Amino acid sequence: MLIVDDEPLARRGIRLHLEQQPGFEIVGECGNGLEAVAAIQDRAPDLVFLDVQMPEMDGFQVIEAVGIEQMPAVVFVTAYDAYAIRAFDVHAVDYLLKPFDRERFLQALDHARSQLLGVPRNLGAQLRALLHEHLGGRKHLERLVIRSGGRIFFLEVATVDWIEAADNYAELHVGKQSHLVRHTLASLEARLDPEHFVRIRHSTIVNVRKVKELRPSSSGEYDVVLQSGAVLESSRRYRKKLTAILED
């Protein structure tokens, strides 16, 4: 499991509680959201103790960056008031309210243990509902966490020219650069603004704001010419989405 909290004392407290419990292995600790995203992707923990309130990138943004489908079970660590705690209860995702005692910690751990042992619970739907509630109804992805050359940084999705599938990854093309992210094309399409990002074939999504020209091709479809000079092929299956660009 992974411990994520920007307060060293809070991380130490969780670690001490866990070290007294058999059957749990701590794979790491993180002091901020960027480190957490990288650790979740690299180490694939079964459970994350995740602080809600952290500077720059909070716990909800960690979930958004990792992606609902890839997110392990979560025990939130929070200083939220009773109203927010009721929201956690409704979505059946456990929490620890700071400061917490050993008894409350063990309750949360037992709750998590039941998830890990396979008690049927739709964790993905719960996290999705909770994330939607926290973001106040914000519908579309605005930025992604990118790991490249030992760096971890944010990429504004508006700067992306086009996206192509790469097995269980997606490759983002931004000018002459490209970045791999651990998201499927389908999961990204579900989170991107459909007015700006359109799938033009099974393996390709294009940012319509980056389209310079549509050229009829010999196949009867279109070649999509981007401002960067890239030329992408469209397919008949997605013709309706592509021709909608012409109607704007």
The predicted-structure confidence for 42-52, as pLDDT tens digits, reads as follows 999 999 999 98
The pLDDT of residue 153: 87
In this prediction the pTM is 0.62
29-38, 69-78, 79-88: which has the minimum mean pLDDT? 79-88
The pLDDT of residue 152: 83
CATH level 3 topology of 143-247: OB fold (Dihydrolipoamide Acetyltransferase, E2P) (2.40.50)
Q: What confidence tier does 229 reach under pLDDT thresholds 50, 70, 90?
A: very high
**Architecture, CATH, for domain 2-134:** 3-Layer(aba) Sandwich (3.40)
The predicted-structure confidence for 60-80, as pLDDT tens digits, reads as follows 888 888 877 778 888 888 876
The pLDDT of residue 93: 65
More reliable by pLDDT, 161 or 60: 161
In the chain, what percentage of residues exceed pLDDT 90? 36
More reliable by pLDDT, 32 or 168: 32
Terminal CA-to-CA distance of the chain, rounded, Å? 49
Q: If you average pLDDT over every residue of the chain, what do you get?
A: 83
Angle at 96 between CA 95 and CA 99, to 5 degrees: 160
Spatial contact of 18 and 43, defined as CB atoms under 8 Å apart: no
Spatial contact of 94 and 112, defined as CB atoms under 8 Å apart: yes
Residue 128 has pLDDT above 80, yes or no: no
Q: What confidence tier does 83 reach under pLDDT thresholds 50, 70, 90?
A: very low
In the predicted model, what is the mean pLDDT of residues 207-214?
A: 93
* Per-residue three-class SS string for the chain: CEEECCCHHHHHHHHHHHHCCCCCCCCEEECCHHHHHHHHHHHCCCEEEEECCCCCCCHHHHHHHHCHHHCCEEEEEECCCHHHHHHHHHCCCCEEECCCCHHHHHHHHHHHHHHHCCCCCCHHHHHHHHHHHHCCCCCCCCEEEEEECCEEEEEEHHHCCEEEEECCEEEEEECCEEEEECCCHHHHHHHCCCCCEEEEECCEEEEHHHEEEEEECCCCCEEEEECCCCEEECCHHHHHHHHHHHHC
Q: Is the dihedral of CA 222, 194, 184, 176 positive or negative?
A: positive
| Domain residue spans of the chain | 2-134, 143-247
Which residue, 118, 117, 133, is CA-closest to 76?
133
36-50, 68-82, 186-200: which has the minimum mean pLDDT? 68-82
Q: Do domains 2-134 and 143-247 have the same CATH topology?
A: no
User: To which residue do tokens 């920007």 refer?
Assistant: 6
The pLDDT of residue 206: 96
Q: What confidence tier does 157 reach under pLDDT thresholds 50, 70, 90?
A: very high
